[in-house]
Amino acid sequence: MARHRKPPRAHAEDEALRGRWAGLHEQDALQAKFHSPAEHHRARRRCRQFLEGGADAWADL
């Protein structure tokens, strides 16, 4: 059975994202190495609050 080739656009998207996924895995590994899970939780909460409430909500933390 012949293997189907991806459309050119899908192939281009895969090529563009290839390095980013590797960078994400590297970033996760560094965060796990240098920061505790509690620090990650607090940072994610602050980031989420900033994204949802803007700078005013973030300044209260």
| Confidence (pLDDT) at 51 | 86
Which candidate, 53, 52, 27, places its Cα nearest to that of 40? 27
What is the residue extent of each domain of the chain?
35-61
Residue type, 41: H
| Confidence (pLDDT) at 4 | 79
| Confidence (pLDDT) at 58 | 60
pLDDT in tens, 15-44: 877 777 778 888 888 888 999 989 989 988
| Confidence (pLDDT) at 41 | 92
CA 39/CA 29 separation, integer angstroms: 15
CA 31/CA 44 separation, integer angstroms: 12
Mean pLDDT to the nearest integer, 48-54: 85
CA 55/CA 20 separation, integer angstroms: 28
CB 23 within 8 A of CB 31: no
